């Protein structure tokens, strides 16, 4: 008993000695989540429960998750393709199968024999498949007031009322000469052969021309232009270009001119004189009085009164050109252009006679035409 008590008293001292228990464990690595000490062979952290590295309980990485998702999608796609192929094959087999009959027997008809008609036959009708009505004979048949036999068809009189003949020439009675055996006179023959009143008379050719007469039969006249009917047309807006008053070309005075002067750079003049005729005219000819002959022009016409902004506008109808304008020489405009009549007329100057002195002057514009 004394020995046991002694051992109990000595055990606390031995535990307090610095040597300690020689079996104290040294940690091999720390937990990745909380940093607690872990030894080799330990599968789980005793602090947070995280699985040790490389164990079955470790968290799966992105590579494993991606593999699982990819395999799942592959299986789903394969199933969808297989279902589509099965449905397509089934639809093709259904479409190619022959139509099923309704079970009714097919009755063959003789060729050329029509089937029974579905229309109702009216009483008294004639034709194939109808029965002719009974005809009543005897002295009382068809008489007024005679009783009709049962089922007998009423008798319709075949005599139609006489109608007066229309447009039938009446033969005049024979005259004394005809009765006596004498041949008719030339005057009576001409009267009998004369045309009736219904014969159309030829139209009169003389006197006042009728409505619808073409403009070609009317003599062209000089178009009277107002004082403000002419003005400058300058779509190019060239730098250094100078122009005279457009009214000078339609004032009836040859000594007052409309002119254009541009720099001597070899470029086209690209400007002209625009004339408003006041109303549409079928143009016949043009005469230009000019102190600078030999210049080149292009002539245009427009149907409406709205002025096109550019010379390439489709509303301008090209009439003709003159490569060398002479003073007072007539330029034919008859039948030119796509339209019959024009409201606006343009003298578009392209080049002067002297390239070293690019100036063009027009003293008077004279146009002939028919309204």
SS3 of 305-318: the string is CCCCCCCCCCCCEE
Contacts of 45 (CB under 8 A, 6+ apart): 31, 33, 34, 36, 38, 51, 52
- What six digits make up the tokens of 60? 């799966």
Give percent of the chain with pLDDT exceeding 70: 58
Write the DSSP string, 96-141.
Answer: HSPPPP-SPPPPPPPTT------SPPPTT--STT--PPB---STTT
pLDDT in tens, 182-238: 444 444 444 444 444 444 444 444 444 444 444 446 789 999 998 889 999 999 898
pLDDT in tens, 321-367: 999 999 999 999 999 999 999 999 999 999 999 989 999 999 999 99
* Residue 365 contacts residue 224 (beta carbons within 8 Å): no
Q: How confident is the model at residue 99 (pLDDT cuts 50, 70, 90)?
A: low
Q: Which domains does the chain have, with CATH numbers?
A: 28-81 (no CATH), 221-370 (2.60.120.260)
Other beta carbons within 10 angstroms of residue 133's beta carbon come to 14
* Residue 350 contacts residue 268 (beta carbons within 8 Å): yes
Q: What is the pLDDT of residue 189?
A: 43
pLDDT in tens, 13-70: 444 445 555 556 678 888 888 988 888 888 888 888 888 777 654 455 677 788 999 9
Q: What is the pLDDT of residue 218?
A: 78
Q: How confident is the model at residue 109 (pLDDT cuts 50, 70, 90)?
A: low
pLDDT over 70 at 100, yes or no: no
What integer best gives the mean pLDDT of the chain?
A: 74
């Amino acid at each position: 008993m004394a020995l046991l008590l002694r051992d109990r008293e000595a055990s606390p001292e031995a535990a307090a000695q610095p040597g300690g228990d020689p079996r104290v464990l040294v940690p091999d690595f720390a937990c990745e989540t909380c940093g607690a000490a872990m030894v080799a062979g330990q599968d789980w952290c005793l602090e947070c429960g995280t699985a040790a590295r490389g164990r079955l309980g470790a968290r799966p990485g992105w590579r494993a998750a991606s593999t699982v998702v990819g395999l799942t999608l592959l299986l789903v796609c394969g199933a969808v393709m297989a279902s589509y192929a099965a449905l397509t094959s089934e639809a093709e087999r259904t479409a190619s199968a022959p139509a099923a009959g309704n079970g009714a027997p097919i009755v063959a008809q003789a060729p050329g024999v029509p089937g029974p008609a579905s229309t109702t036959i009216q009483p008294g009708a004639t034709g194939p498949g109808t029965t002719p009505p009974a005809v009543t004979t005897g002295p009382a048949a068809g008489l007024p007031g005679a009783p009709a036999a049962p089922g007998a068809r009423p008798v319709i009189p075949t005599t139609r009322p006489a109608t007066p003949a229309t447009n039938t020439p009446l033969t005049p009675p024979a005259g004394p000469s005809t009765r006596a055996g004498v041949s008719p006179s030339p005057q009576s023959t001409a009267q009998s052969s004369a045309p009736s009143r219904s014969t159309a008379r030829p139209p009169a050719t003389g006197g006042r021309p009728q409505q619808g007469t073409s403009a070609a039969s009317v003599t062209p006249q000089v178009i009277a232009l107002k004082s403000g009917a002419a003005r400058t047309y300058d779509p190019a807006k060239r730098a250094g270009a100078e122009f005279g008053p457009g009214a000078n070309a339609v004032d009836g005075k040859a000594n007052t001119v409309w002119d254009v002067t541009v720099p001597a750079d070899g470029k086209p003049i690209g400007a002209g004189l625009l004339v408003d005729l006041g109303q549409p005219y079928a143009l016949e000819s043009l005469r230009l009085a000019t102190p600078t002959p030999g210049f080149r022009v292009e002539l245009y016409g427009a149907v409406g009164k709205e002025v096109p902004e550019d010379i390439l506008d489709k509303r301008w109808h090209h009439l003709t050109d003159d490569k060398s304008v002479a003073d007072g020489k007539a330029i034919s405009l008859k039948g030119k252009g796509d339209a019959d009549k024009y409201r606006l007329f343009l003298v578009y100057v392209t080049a002067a006679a002297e390239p070293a002195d690019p100036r063009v002057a027009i003293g008077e514009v004279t146009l002939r035409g028919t309204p």
